[in-house]
Amino acid sequence: MQTKQKYPSKINLILHFLSGSKRYFVLGMLFAGLVSLLDMVNPKIISFTVDSVIGTKPAVFPAGVSGIVSAGGGVEGLRNRPVILAAAVLGVGLVAAICRYIFRTMNARGAETFVQKMRDDLFAHIMYLPDTWHGENSTGDIIQRCTSDVQTIKRFVSEQLSQLFRTIILIALSLFFMGRIHFRVMLGSAVMIPVIVGYSLVFHYKIGSAFEKVDVEEGVLSSIVQENLTGVRVVRAFGREDYERTRFEKQNNYYTGFWIRLMTISSMFWSVADILTGLQVLFIVLFGSVACIHGTLTVGDFIAMTSYNMMLIWPVRQLGRVISEMSKAGISIERLRYIMNSEPETDRENPQRPPMDRDIAFEDVSFSYENASGPAIRNLTLTIPAGSTLGILGGTGSGKSTLMYLLDRLYDTAPGNGRITIGGVDISDIDRQYLHKNIGMVLQEPFLFSRTLAENIGIAGNEPDIEAIRHAAKLAGIDDTIESFTAGYDTFVGERGVTLSGGQKQRTAIAQMLLRKPPIMVFDDSLSAVDAETDMKIRRAIRENTGSSTVILIAHRITTIMNADHIIVLDQGRIREQGTHEELLERGGLYRRIYELQTAGIDVEDDAEAVDRDYRTVEIDEKN
């Protein structure tokens, strides 16, 4: 079933983003119209000066203007005091300048309010999109949409769209005033307008197609840059600088080629515009000159006509530009509409907030990742008593982490594939944010923000004091390390914790967890980067300080989970063995064989590959 789109069209999305800034744009358009009207006045003053003040043509004024001229002594008075006409031109120009200033100020305020609304809404919406969506869309492409595409839309709405409104008014007023002076000469200028609009529509589709490819390739390039800056240590550690540089240059050349194609089309567009603009000037001069020779157009009116035509040249070119640029804005709006129409995580109606210090039960749970060859979890049933410690052992792909992602609802089970309950309440009925806050997770590769160590440890607390942060750090075995730094707890952590070692990042994340003390704690192989002695100290601290919390330990090292109240061994999404450490050793199954291999020193490394080798060794032995 297709999900109903919140924004069925591009216009719906733009109107949504315009809420809060429309009043600025409306005021800006009002003053833009006044500017266009005032721009029409000075050519009339100049025409009147040439024909009636310098020349002898009888002057005919509108009712309102006639009274002003009479108060100044009529035409004779103006002829004797031409400074009045100069002051009139200056006054009109000054009022037009003030209106133009207000227009630009209102337009700028509207533009910044508009782009602020776009950024806020996009960020808020992306924060609530499911993990599957983030897995399908690269970070670089998302950033590119929220920066480059936002700026493209901003330029279109604040510059080109407002310019379109002003251009239409200016064209209408110019043609009206020109028509009142000499209709046939006006037609010589007006005939080029539909031609310019027509060829602009042709280029509209060409530019739109080229810009879409440029936008997509820029997203790919951004992804490469983002990946390399984030993983710069890995690139250097494996000596892949030349490879990544070549990869970047290849994509950059590809991207540049599309930009060159876009610029070529744009150059063709502006070249044709120059030719058509020249023809427009040629027609007005030719027809105007002929009209002057035949006496149907005065010199002053010819000057006015030329002035109005010059006012038309740039707006008409702008009209063509706006039409062609609409294609770029259309592509960018569609790319943002994809984000805003993506379905965020939602709760069921009237979500519950039950006590979380209760038994956790997996009831016949199955789960498959999209496009996966088989289920990651297969008909798994398990009960974790409240306040107990569960140890989970398994090789890569056995479903250990998936089980915890399902518990925290980072992924949801499909209908009919079992359910997970806490205290008998289906987690699908629990408020999602409430669930997240009450389930603490420390991952094997924790993410640290570009902040101080104190801020990272206390990030999930309610403004904890430094003593509480220090206590959590001591329990996690990271306090001595932090104190050895020059800035101590004020040491700034680089992006993603790049300035810390793997073990230091893991212990910092454990300190975050111990500071929060949620009722459910999950340690997803979060001791893999620490040595055995530190592992033992941290496990002891966890046992002594988790209180009544339910603790789930996922590990590759059996010594990490051997003191757990209950241990399960996962294999291909199923529970192959379960029991206490002593019970599993007595059974002489897979758990015991891995234990013997690890304690014998054959595979003492604490990583997934080591345990996978243990599994393969046991499987070979079993077949033999």
With a CB cutoff of 8 Å and minimum separation 6, the contacts of 609 are 396
What pLDDT digit, counting tens, does each position of 358-396 carry? Answer: 999 999 999 998 777 788 999 999 999 998 999 999 887
Cα-Cα end-to-end distance for the chain? 51
With a CB cutoff of 8 Å and minimum separation 6, the contacts of 515 are 457, 458, 460, 461, 464, 468, 469, 472
Q: What is the pLDDT of residue 616?
A: 56
Say if strands 425-426 and 419-422 run parallel, antiparallel, or are unpaired.
Answer: antiparallel
What pLDDT digit, counting tens, does each position of 569-621 carry? Answer: 998 889 999 999 999 998 888 888 888 888 775 444 444 455 555 555 555 55
d(CA 175, CA 604): 87
Q: How many CB atoms lie within 10 A of CB 391?
A: 25
- Picking from 35, 12, 32, the residue whose alpha carbon sits closest to that of residue 24 is 32
- Name residue, tokens 């706006």: 322
d(CA 21, CA 311): 29
pLDDT band at 37 (very low <50, low <70, confident <90, very high): confident
Mapped onto helix, strand or coil, the DSSP state of residue 71 is helix
Q: How many CB atoms lie within 10 A of CB 400?
A: 23
The domains found in the chain, sorted by start residue, are 10-341 (1.20.1560.10), 360-623 (3.40.50.300)
Q: What is the pLDDT of residue 602?
A: 46
d(CA 289, CA 498): 75
Q: What is the pLDDT of residue 1?
A: 35
At 431, give phi and psi (nearest 5°).
-55, 125
Angle of helix 83-127 relative to helix 22-39, nearest 10 degrees, comes to 160
- Picking from 570, 147, 615, the residue whose alpha carbon sits closest to that of residue 377 is 570
With a CB cutoff of 8 Å and minimum separation 6, the contacts of 322 are 160, 161, 163, 164, 167
At 557, give phi and psi (nearest 5°).
-95, 120
**Cα-trace Rg, the chain:** 37
What pLDDT digit, counting tens, does each position of 436-456 carry? Answer: 889 988 887 788 888 888 888
Minimum mean pLDDT among 345-354, 456-465, 599-608: which range? 599-608
State the DSSP string of 522-535: EEESTTTTS-HHHH
Q: What is the pLDDT of residue 624?
A: 47
Mapped onto helix, strand or coil, the DSSP state of residue 216 is helix
State the DSSP string of 2-34: PPPPSS-SHHHHHHHHHTTTHHHHHHHHHHHHH
d(CA 200, CA 304): 28
User: Are 324 and 228 spatial neighbours (Cβ–Cβ below 8 Å)?
Assistant: no
State the DSSP string of 364-410: EEEE--TT-SS-SEEEEEEEE-TT-EEEEEE-TTSSHHHHHHHHTTS
What's the predicted TM-score (pTM) here? 0.69
Q: What is the pLDDT of residue 191?
A: 75
pLDDT at 461 over 80: no
pLDDT band at 237 (very low <50, low <70, confident <90, very high): low
Q: How many angstroms separate the Cα of 536 from the Cα of each of 128, 483, 554, 561, 563?
A: 38, 21, 15, 10, 11
Tokens of 301: 């009116």
d(CA 452, CA 450): 7
Tokens of 147: 């920066």
pLDDT at 158 over 80: yes
Distance from chain centroid for Cα 468:
36
Burial of 599 per CB tally in 10 Å (0-12, 13-18, 19+): exposed
- Name residue, tokens 């030349």: 242
Count of residues in the chain: 624
What pLDDT digit, counting tens, does each position of 395-439 carry? Answer: 878 888 899 989 998 888 888 899 999 999 999 999 988 998 899
pLDDT at 530 over 70: no
What pLDDT digit, counting tens, does each position of 92-127 carry? Answer: 889 989 998 999 899 899 999 999 999 999 999 998
What pLDDT digit, counting tens, does each position of 472-511 carry? Answer: 888 888 888 888 888 888 888 866 666 777 778 888 888 8
The C-alpha angle with vertex 42 and arms to 38 and 44, in degrees rounded to 5, equals 110
pLDDT at 132 over 60: yes
**Dihedral angle, C-alpha 596, 597, 603, 608, nearest 10 °:** -90
Tokens of 105: 């100020």
